[in-house]
Amino acid sequence: MSENQYGFKYDEYGNTREILVYSSGVAVHSISYVNKGTAFSLAERKRLGLEAALPPAVRSMEHQVENSLIKVNSKDKPLEKFIYLRSLFDRNVVLAHALIKSDIENLMGIIYTPTVALAVQQYSSMFRQANGLHFYPGNIDQAENILRRYLHRDIRVAVVTDNQGILGIGDQGAGGIAICLGKLMLYTQGAGVAPWHCLPVSLDVGTDNEALLADNEYLGWRHHRLKGDEYLDLIGRFAHAFRNVFPNALCQWEDFSKQNAFAIRDSYLHDLISFNDDIQGTGAITLAGILTAMRIKLERLEDQVFLVHGAGAGGIGIAEQIGIALVEAGLTEQEAKDRIFTLDSRGVVTSDRDLEEYKYKFAKDKEQFTWLKDSSKISLTEAVKEARVTVLIGTSGQGGCFTREVIEAVLANTDRPVIMPLSNPTSMTEALPEDIYKWTDGRALVATGSPFEPVTHNGVTHSIGQCNNVFVFPGVGLGVLGSGAREVLPQFFTAAAHAVSSCVSKAEMENGCLVPPVNSLKEVSRKVALAVAMSAVASGVSRPCVFSTFQHEGDEARMAELLRKMRWDPEYLPIVAM
């Protein structure tokens, strides 16, 4: 649908109040942001030339949601539910979001992890309708002109991937854009960023997935991945074009390989309003769980010793965020680093090894830690004992590596060990919550990366909180947009972590839950957004919100009002026929 067939009218808070339509008749149906389906009123049908184009009865949105929920629940397989939701989104965006909102606890797992991984893998074979933008060497020279076609949508958030590090399943070529679509749907659900302000982007630099290259159905750029200067040049061309066209929009880097993830995040820290969710979002939600554990234990963060088993983007991102929080708590940078150990497939990471650049920050000096004389022969259990670890975090993707021996070693260091097996999916989790509670006689504080049912041990039921980045990135995005932050600072994620932790109630903590339930996403995102926005003000990177004429002036109450009014909710808007 051409961009000159519809537009948006905003209020003083930058929220859409009317949709302007410059076409009529059946063409209105093909504008997914405008289409109301059977909910078009009789007056709207007459005004928009839809008379006789729909059956006579008019359904309310509530009726539509009820009907759609029955349909999606009638599907036997998660992927079938995904296809139904995406098809609904492609024809009626508002109804799709209203449906998801009505049962977010169950449907979030359909539009995003774990089901989205199946959609990524089958992207080409089940392709139905184009969504977002696909840049590749054949069109990157036109990136700025292509992006300008979306000016009418006032893009505020873009999720951008190079498709290489997808959800533990690796290089998935063009299919990675499904991740971006899912993340942006969660921006809308959590932060209330209207779907027309969201843009999914695939930077298709090729794929080294030989199965895809040999697949006749594959829709991506059929070449091996660009590397070196060619790769960096394509990324740079996109970043330059995006900054020129949408200088005030947020760019979230998503699912890059671990080395590229750090390099690209750091390269564009000051040139774009950007962050990497796999690094910083993962770090923030993990820190939130640890902060809640400290509230339960009545202990200080700076008194803990941390071991992150798995030194990829997520693992080092967690270490980074813990380090930032420790410094904010009063430790020096070196004191903070000394309390954080990382471990990869070759053992505890030490500075004498030939390492990827991003691992050096937390690499240990063998002269300082003499027990690391031969780090490759130090087992996980020995590392826990020697370092006196009290918080054990898993991002290794090695299912079952947190054995009874390992867990009991942590228990020997603290009365209430914090154990966080975060690898996805469930088959890759480092330990099952049921086993952790059994091995610690119910004393452990547990959060996981995958969803788990509550565990009952010795008559006590423990809720298993899921460390899901969805509690972080939507609120960070709204806070950045509302404050007009010129860049995304590391302390924003510490503020976000404290906000998420504050949303865990006393009753939930008594049940051992370290993060909030998914059905509180909207409230959590609101608190995260306010914390991030006020952090931006305190850090001096805030400016008047360019998306609103209402000015917060740095006052927390006015900022809260702005953020509340900026939120879009899935309700049908008045349509003005032009």
> If we measure between CA atoms, which residue out of 448, 447, 535 comes closest to residue 494?
535
How far apart are alpha carbons 501 and 280 in whole angstroms?
16
How far apart are alpha carbons 167 and 57 in whole angstroms?
44
Quick one: tokens of 207? 């794929």
In which element (H, E) is residue 21 found? strand 16-21
Neighbours of 465 (CB within 10 A): 28
How far apart are alpha carbons 159 and 179 in whole angstroms?
9
432: Cα separation from own chain's centroid: 24
Q: For 516, which DSSP code?
A: -
503 in Cβ contact with 520 (< 8 Å): yes
SS3 letters across 163-197? CCCECCCECCHHHHHHHHHHHHHHHHHHHCCCHHH
495 in Cβ contact with 532 (< 8 Å): yes
Active site residue 183: yes
How far apart are alpha carbons 180 and 237 in whole angstroms?
20
DSSP codes, 117-146: HHHHHTTTTT--S--SEEE-TTTGGGHHHH
In which element (H, E) is residue 326 found? helix 313-328
Handedness of CA 378, 382, 384, 388 (dihedral sign): negative
How far apart are alpha carbons 154 and 148 in whole angstroms?
10
How far apart are alpha carbons 328 and 97 in whole angstroms?
38
SS3 content of the chain, % helix, strand, coil (to 5): 50, 10, 40
Among candidate residues 33, 36, 150, 183, the one labeled active-site is 183
185 in Cβ contact with 101 (< 8 Å): no
How far apart are alpha carbons 319 and 286 in whole angstroms?
10
Residue 48, SS3 per DSSP:
coil
Among candidate residues 6, 33, 112, 268, the one labeled active-site is 112
Residue 55, SS3 per DSSP:
coil
In which element (H, E) is residue 258 found? helix 258-267
Looking up tokens 């995304």 gives 488
Quick one: tokens of 149? 């076609």
What's the longest Cα–Cα distance across the chain?
82
Active site residue 10: no
Quick one: tokens of 76? 């036997």
Which residues are catalytic, by number?
112, 183
